[in-house]
Structure 1
Amino acid sequence: MPASKELTLTYNVLNDENTFSEGDTLTGRVTLTLAKDTKVKSLFVKVKGDANVHWTEGSGDDKKSYSAFRRYFKLKEYLIPQVSKDTVLPQGIHTFNFRIKMPQGNMPSSFKGRYGKIVYMLEAKMCRSWRMDCEVQTEFSFASKSIPAFGQLMFPQERSVEKEMGLFSKGQVQMAATVDRRAYAPGETVAVVAKVSNPSSQKMTPKFTLKQKVMYFANGSTKTSEKTICKMVGDVITPETEQTVTCPVEIPSDLGQTIHNCDIISVDYYLKVYLDISFASDPEIKFPLVIIPPGFSSVPQPGGAVGLYPPGAVGGPSNSDFPPPAVPVEPYPVPFGPGACRYPAAPDPAQQSDMRSGYNNPLPQQASPYAHPFSVFSSSSAHQQPPSAPPMFQQGDEPPSYMSLFPPSEESPTGSNAK
């Protein structure tokens, strides 16, 4: 009869999302069930965070593999220390409590993609002399709260585009669009407003698409994967009309965070607003979005600091080492429920403005502090406005990155099979 019948591992959750962050304390218990008295060399729990990427290209003799590995931390706590003489545990059930404080630092959130992943693992292992080790492990979700310049992500974005219709219809289509801010948590709603001027004889349909772009880096090469998260379609805009379209786009509750603090995996999101026109090039606007963890304030705190919900609030840690905020959060008002794009009532003529400027009160701009090297957009001229607020970008510009202060480091030669 084997000496060890069962080894189990459980941990205590801190919040409704079952996530941990920098500085949080991970607590739990290890239960060991023994069928007879057993000599144990050691028993310990281990917590680690690793990132891996791997892909292959080509075939046959031209086939080449790319891989990279990063370790962010590894912590170990002995429940039965390893000494010169084995420890004898009597028959029965033995329970050991553990408590491990997560390190501080700039570590990326959990992620699993097509060519790589960022995984945080909790493991318990019992070692016996002249016997195979008995171990059990479980993953836990890590939500990074390392977000520099958070307050600057809470300002609205405004962009505009103009397109000539081409051969089948004359005229220049103009579209100006805004979103209420740049940073969103899963489950929140992006309030999108698009103002369209259609002087042509063509009808067109406004569409709104939330996209994810993932880039993997290994051995000096890059692999890119892009997918559509959700898509919404508005009503047709008839020829020779001007209309304003409001479309609330809900961020899926299970959507992963933006990741720019891992040098082998980056995860970006953007919202594409475009006009679907038959037999013509579709005018489009792209807004970069930053997905932040639940529990962050939706309103910038004084001085641009990051605010958290108080313990016990929805999405906030109930047993966390992070300090509580000073001010609770009010959600951003959305005129319509998720899943519907609507045309609001005709605006007051006194409030209408020239389509080339986009809106009555255009937001001021200043030089951008962002310069992330891995961007999803190409560069062109920017919409110029007087400086005094965080930057807004004209269609075609390089979008900002909230992790521009942490550029990817050079690839290390570490193998992908590290333990």
Structure 2
Amino acid sequence: MREDDESATQRALRATCRGIGTEWKGARPVGLQQTMESTVKKLEVTYNPINERNTFTNGDFMTGQVTLEMGKDCQIESLFVKFKAKADVTWSETYGKTTVVYHSKEKFFTMKQYFIQSKDSKDGEYVQLVNRSSEYSSVVAPGVHVYPFTFQFPAQNVPSSFKGPHGKIVYSLEACLSRSMRPDKKESTTVNFLSKADLSDISALQTPQRMSMDKKMKVFTSGSLAMEVNLEKSGFLQGEGIKVVSFIKNGSSREIKPKYCIYRKQSFFAKGRRKVHTKELIKEEGSPIPQKVSQTVTQVIAIPHDAEPSILNCNIIKAEYRLKVYLDIKFASDPAIKFDIVILRGSQGSAGLPPSYSAAAGLGPEAFGNSAPAPWNPAPPSGNPAPPAWNPAPPAWNPAPPSGNPAPPAWNPAPPAWNPAPPAWNPAPPAWNPAPTPGNPAPPPGNQAPLQPSSVSSPLPPSYGTHQLYPSPNDFSQKKF
């Protein structure tokens, strides 16, 4: 194509390409795409693990950072990080020559934090953590830029992370960069979440279960069978043993053997249809019971430590467990009793929280969260001028000696040898709160004294890290738009 035949638009494009150092060939600029990609060299979103299992639970704070590497100066319209949770179900079925796809999704929450936001943006239906101490420029210089953020997991009942054959429940972080006349650039990562059990289910999970059945034998076996099975409760922790007590009356003409099976049942729902997937996890058997004998049998079945917790609080995905107790009889159908059981997550420390126990539930550590203040982080006494208030002299639990024993016992001298003043473990100043380092004569305002233990289950938001290009934010507040 000759230059005389070019339209005004093509001549303008040619001039634009020359201005940015690219070459125009035919109907498209060569090297323009490479130039666009070289402007944004890297966009990445990461978060900071809080425990060895790299899992979070209700109320936990999650901190992280969005890393942006630029090759040259760039005008950015918006840069934000999105924290969201959703369930998604998909499967297909074939009817003759027609294939029907069943799909459904459920959103639990969406939260965003903007680092750079356009003035014309109308995105306001979220809870945003506002950083008042620093503002980020929309013109980003070449180099590596780190934008820290923090989010808090909802305290309400939301399901755990899950992945099955026809659906999944995903918690994810997504960073999005928008520029004028450019496609948005996005990067994401998933987060593992384990939900706490719903407190409203405590009484139901602790209720004993009992079921019975009778069966009359036919054809190859004569007589009858009777079985009654008892469970202490229906809620169990990962790794806990299920005590199964069965009274079996073998009135048949054959020897029988009690057997046990725990299996998982996953249900997926979409467009009024249900897809079910089952899998056996444990199979055990007891000792044979001779014919015409009645016997009480006790069997303890251990739940695997890695068994996925039950999911009962999602509308389109259910993960349930059942215990099947049945009698194996040769040449006859096996009579069976099935119990619905709930598997709860086992002991697992959370961010900044020690293991906790629910005395009312009796289900063991961390089954239902932490409702009491953390006892392992008390505020140290100021300067320790006198013995602590909890150890007066004489102690309330050590009254005066009775009349028949005028001298105090040898193990309680005054003052006690184990309570010097000040105690050896609390020197002044304490070893864990040293004086400010040189170059920082005054401690920061936010570090005057250790924080008092909170009565809520979630810790305070961790402080952000620093970065050479931008000051670290240190002021948090939650604001609804």
| Bin of the TM-score, shorter chain as denominator length | 0.5 to 0.7
Aligned to 1:155: 207
Distance 1:239 1:320 in 2: 63
Gap change, CA 1:320 and 1:126, over 3 Å in 2:
farther
Pairing 1:308–2:362 present: no
- Return the offset for 1:48: 0.9
Change (3 A) 1:191 1:62: same
Q: Letter of the aligned partner of 2:369 in structure 1?
A: L
Name 1:286's counterpart in structure 2.
338
Question: What does the per-residue CA deviation read over 1:26-47, in whole Å, with 9 as the maximum and x for residues that have no partner?
Answer: 2212222334444333221111
- Residue type of the partner of 1:157? Q
Compute the TM-score of the two structures, normalised by the length of structure 1. Answer: 0.67
Which stretch has the larger CA shift, 38-47 or 10-19?
A: 10-19
Structure 1 counterpart of 2:144, from 70, 90, 93? 93
1:232-271 paired onto structure 2 within 5 Å:
232-271=284-323
* Secondary structure, counterpart of 2:59 in structure 1: coil
Deviation string for 1:252-277 (max 9, x for gaps)? 23322322322222222111011111
Paired residue for 1:385?
A: none
Of 156, 163, 173, which residue of structure 1 is paired with 2:225? 173
1:52-63 aligned at under 5 Å gives the runs 52-63=88-99
Query: Alpha-carbon deviations, 1:321-356, whole Å to 9, x = none?
Result: 9539xxxxxxxxxxxxxxxxxxxxxxxxxxxxxxxx
Residue 411 (structure 1) aligns with: none
Q: Distance in 1 between matches of 2:155 and 2:341?
A: 26
- Structure 1, gaps ≥5 residues long: 314-318, 325-419
How do 1:15-164 and structure 2 match up within 5 A?
Answer: 15-83=51-119, 87-145=138-196, 147=198, 148-164=200-216
Quick check: 1:5–1:34 contact (8 Å CA) kept in 2? yes
Residue pair 2:196, 2:368 contacting (<8 A) in 1 also: no
Q: Which amino acid aligns with 2:138?
A: T
Pairing 1:200–2:252 present: yes
SS of corresponding position for 2:205: helix
Distance 1:223 1:122, change over 3 A: same
Which structure's CA Rg is the greater one? 2
Alignment partners' CA distance in 2, 1:168 and 1:299: 53
Question: What is residue 10 of structure 1 aligned with on the other side?
Answer: 46
Could you tell me how far 1:77 is from its partner in structure 2? 0.6
Amino acid at match of 1:128: R
- 1:210–1:269: 8 Å Cα contact kept in structure 2? yes
Q: Distance between the aligned counterparts of 2:290 and 2:87, measured in 1?
A: 50
Match of 1:219 in 2: 271
| Aligned equivalent of 2:3 | none
Is this contact kept in 1: 2:358–2:367, CA < 8 A?
Answer: no
- What percentage of residue pairs aligned between the two structures are identical? 38
Structure 1 moving runs of 4+ over 6 Å: 310-313
CA gap 1:203/1:255 in 2 versus in 1, 3 angstroms:
same
User: Counterpart of 1:323?
Assistant: 457
TM-score if structure 2 supplies the norm length? 0.59
Count of matched residue pairs: 317
* Residues in 1 aligned to 2:235 and 2:165: alpha-carbon distance in whole angstroms: 25
| Residue of structure 2 equivalent to 1:362 | none
- 2:192 partner letter: S
For the 8 Å contact 2:373–2:456, the answer to whether it is kept is no
Q: 1:133 to 1:287 in 2, by over 3 A?
A: same
Match of 1:183 in 2: 235
- How far residue 301 of structure 1 moved from its aligned partner, in angstroms, is 4.3
Query: Could you list the runs of 5+ residues in structure 2 that have no partner in the other structure?
Result: 1-34, 121-135, 348-355, 376-452, 459-481
Kept in 2, the 8 Å contact 1:6–1:33? The answer is yes
CA contact (8 A) 2:267 2:274 kept: yes
Q: CA deviation at 1:297?
A: 4.7
Kept after mapping to 2: 8 A contact 1:67/1:218: yes
- Give, in angstroms, the shift of residue 76 of structure 1: 0.5
Give distance in 1, aligned partners of 2:259 and 2:369: 34
Does 2:326 match 1:274?
yes
CA-to-aligned-CA distance 1:347-403 (integer Å, 9 cap, x gap): xxxxxxxxxxxxxxxxxxxxxxxxxxxxxxxxxxxxxxxxxxxxxxxxxxxxxxxxx
**Taking structure 1 as reference, are residues 212 and 307 closer, same or farther at Cα in structure 2, changes over 3 Å only?**
closer
Structure-1 separation of matches of 2:192 and 2:343: 16
